[in-house]
Amino acid sequence: MNLATRDVTARIGGSPEQALTAWEIASVVASALIAEWVVLSIGDGAQWLIAFPLISAFAFIIYSQLTRGESWRDLGCRVDNFGAAMRLLLPPMLAATIFCLAVGWFNESVNFSRWRGGQTILGMPALGFLWGLLQQFILQAFINRRAQMIWGAGWKSVLSVAFVFAALHLPNPLLTLATFTGGAVWAAVYQRTPNLFALGLSHSIMTWVLISNIPPAALHGLRVGFKYFG
Amino acid sequence: MNDAPREISRSVDSDDSPKHTRPSVITNRDASTSHPSDRLSKKARLRLTHALIAKSLLELLFVGALATVFYYQTFNPYFRGAVDVADARRVAGWVVDERTPAARVEVQLYINGRFVSSDVAAGARPDVRLAGRADDDWHGFSFDTPPLPHGSYEARVYAMHESGGGLRRVMQLVGQPWRFQVEVETGGQSSTPTSTPTQTPASMTISAPSSTPSLISSPTAAPAAASSPGGDAGVNASREKP
């Protein structure tokens, strides 16, 4: 076990540091909620304001990681364990794909051409991968690592990551359920084999599988936050 | 559940590295296993705390500013106006958007919560201009009250405001709700008032808000009468101080 893993899995000890770490998580989650629930409620013409909470969150994430001395390798931006991470990801991905295909076949809603995009940014492969990578970076390289600093590696931190990921997809019920499940799997894999590229790839593939098989009406256009109602 | 974290923490750091060669000691919840170097220095902790406070304050200001701007755009706080009269014959008053005094405001009449009519407040009200509320005379409205059976009614006039490029339309109450009584059914032959033409029809008693000395006024005449927005004892004076 290298120093990076030890850094993450080590318990911090002492409630002030745990509180500070929990505050870090809450702060970044708050930024995302502001973007989803406040800025998007303003309506057309003001979407560019979403840049403020996003920049604020990213600036803080980078600052926190620098302050804590986390390297890119620590965070999972590496390729040496890509294969190992993919091996861990493949079984749940396969199971989820079979499930989605069954649902799509049953509902006669299988349509892999939705991948071309147009409905959402996730429809485009390249941007889909980048979007997945970005989400996994925040979710794993920041929230997961800090959750481990509070609770240690294990089910508590895995579930907390899944809860956060699901909460950010409220009030879309299907997406909340899917992200809770996916969040738990990805968090567990990251704790075992931290590789953001594998997780980003898995994220984008599963999004593609989801939107290609689940009826669009059920997914509600992948809309989350206030936009879900619009 | 102590086994679970231990299992997960056996990180597969690399495809080439031997797996599970070292048991995890760091996930052991025993405090003695925590590594001193894993802890933040006091200075780093302070820096992070300051950054968190700064971020929280900035976002608080951002959300506050956003809410304020949104409120001003969506719920126009610059509407000024009043309902001068509401009875079985008509509901009349004036309304001005002080942010754009030259604009005509769309108004809607509701009686007992039900939509009755919509109009643009563009009737002659020189008293409004004289009171300094507007640059021109054309800010009055007057609705014909629909035929109503005997009973008690409440009239509300709302100014309509559009924002978000037409995506949002909000209604704002003009003045205060007016309650009035219809004692003889209006509309058709039975609606003929039994009162004399020189006074408020006896068949209709108007219950105006308190401190409203004048009940009936013409929007097109006697601008300095009681209902004038600049009048000393007018309906508007009791609600709006020009």
User: Which residues in chain B are contacts of A7 at CB distance < 8 A?
Assistant: 38
- pLDDT of amino acid B90: 92
- Show the tokens assigned to B17: 């590295």
Q: How confident is the model at residue B140 (pLDDT cuts 50, 70, 90)?
A: very high
The answer to whether the beta carbons of residues A104 and A214 sit under 8 Å apart is: yes
Peptide bond into A53 cis (omega under 30): no
Q: Does A7 touch chain B (CB under 8 A)?
A: yes
Q: Scanning every residue of chain A, which has its alpha carbon at the shortest distance from the alpha carbon of B53?
A: A27
Q: Is B239 strand, coil or helix?
A: helix
Instruction: Report whether pLDDT(A163) > 90.
Output: yes
Residues from chain B that touch A81, judged by Cβ atoms under 8 A, are 12-15
| CA closest to B30 among chain A residues | A11
Which residues are bridge partners to B178 per DSSP? B155
**What are the backbone angles phi and psi of residue A50, rounded to the nearest 5°?**
-65, -20
- What mean pLDDT do residues B3-14 have? 41
Contacts of B64 in chain A (CB under 8 A): none
Q: Does the interface predicted TM-score (ipTM) exceed 0.90?
A: no
Cβ-defined contact of B13 to A9 (cutoff 8 Å):
no
Which of B167 and B175 is assigned the larger pLDDT? B175
Cα–Cα distance measured from residue A207 to residue A123, given in angstroms and rounded to the nearest whole number: 9
Any idea which of A132-146, A168-182, B120-134, B212-226 has the lowest mean pLDDT? B212-226
| pLDDT value at residue A172 | 92
| Rounded Cα–Cα distance for residues B221 and B127 (Å) | 9
Q: What is the pLDDT of residues B193-210, one digit of tens each?
A: 333 333 333 333 333 333
Least confident range of A71-85, B8-22, B193-207 = B193-207
pLDDT (mean) for B8-27: 41
**How many whole angstroms separate alpha carbon A166 and alpha carbon A15?**
26
A51 or B35, which is more confident?
A51
Exposed, middle or buried, B120 (CB in 10 Å: 0-12/13-18/19+)? middle
Does the beta carbon of A50 lie under 8 angstroms from any beta carbon of chain B? no
Task: Give the model's confidence band at A119: pLDDT under 50 very low, under 70 low, under 90 confident, else very high.
Answer: low
Q: Any chain A CB within 8 A of the CB of B115?
A: no
Per-residue pLDDT at B185:
62
Structure tokens of B193? 């008032």
Q: What is the reported pLDDT for A14?
A: 56
Angstrom distance (rounded) from CA B65 to CA B44: 31
User: Which pLDDT score, from 0 to 100, does residue A43 have?
Assistant: 65
Q: Read off the pLDDT of each residue in A100-105 and give the average, rounded to a whole number.
A: 90
CB A122 within 8 A of CB A128: yes
- Interchain proximity B66–A39, CB inside 8 Å: yes
Q: Give the per-residue pLDDT at A114.
A: 67
Q: The tokens of B147 are what?
A: 């035929």
* Tens digit of each residue's pLDDT (9 = 90 or more) over B29-76: 333 333 323 578 888 999 999 999 999 999 999 999 988 888 888 888
Beta bridge partners of B94: B82, B140
pTM of structure: 0.70
Predicted confidence band of residue A1 (pLDDT cuts 50, 70, 90): very low
SS3 A171: coil
Residue of A nearest to B55 (CA): A56
Give the position of tokens 């929280």.
Answer: B56
> At B141, which amino acid appears?
F
Half-sphere exposure of B15 toward its Cβ, with a 13 Å CA cutoff? 12
Token couple for A219: 């997914």
How far is Cα A167 from Cα A176, in angstroms, rounded to an integer?
A: 7
What is the structure's pLDDT at B187? 53
DSSP A114: G
Instruction: Give the residue on A whose Cα is nearest the Cα of B31.
Output: A13
A1–B9 CB contact, under 8 Å? yes
Give yes or no for residue B16 having a pLDDT over 60: no
B99 min Cα distance to partner chain A (Å): 21
Q: Which of A2-11, A149-158, B125-134, B209-218 has the lowest mean pLDDT?
A: B209-218
Q: How confident is the model at residue A109 (pLDDT cuts 50, 70, 90)?
A: confident
Which residues partner with B204 through β-bridges?
Answer: B182
Mean pLDDT across chain B: 69
Residue with tokens 């035929």: B147
Identify the pLDDT of residue A116: 58
A:84-103 residues touching chain B, CB 8 A cutoff: 84-85, 88
At B99, which amino acid appears? R
Alpha-carbon span B214 to B235, nearest angstrom: 7
User: Which is nearest to A165 in space by CA: A139, A199, A141?
Assistant: A139
**What residues of chain B lie within 8 A of the CB of A67, using their CB?**
40, 44, 47-48, 51
**B211: left (phi > 0), else alpha (psi -120 to 50), else beta?**
left
Most distant CA pair in chain B, distance = 106
Radius of gyration of chain A (CA): 18
Cβ-contact A10, B35 below 8 angstroms: yes
Residue pair B87/B180 in contact (Cβ under 8 Å)? The answer is yes
- Please say whether the beta carbons of B61 and B220 come within 8 A: no
- Asked whether A162 and A184 are in contact (CB, 8 A), the reply is yes
- Do B13 and A60 make contact, defined as CB atoms within 8 angstroms? no
Cβ contacts (< 8 Å) between B70 and chain A: which residues? Answer: 42
Q: Kindly tell me if the per-residue pLDDT of A94 is higher than 90.
A: yes
Q: For residue A178, is pLDDT > 90?
A: yes
Q: Residue B31 and residue A44: Cβ atoms within 8 Å? A: no
Can you tell me the distance from the alpha carbon of B134 to that of B125, in angstroms, rounded to the nearest whole number? 10
Query: What pLDDT is attached to residue B194?
Result: 32
| pLDDT bucket at B183, cuts 50 / 70 / 90 | confident
- Chain B residues within 8 A of A31 when measuring between CB atoms: 55, 59
Separation CA B29–CA B48 (nearest Å): 25
pLDDT band for position B28 (cuts 50, 70, 90): very low
CA distance A200 to A122: 12
Q: CB within 8 A of A46, min separation 6: which ones? A: A39
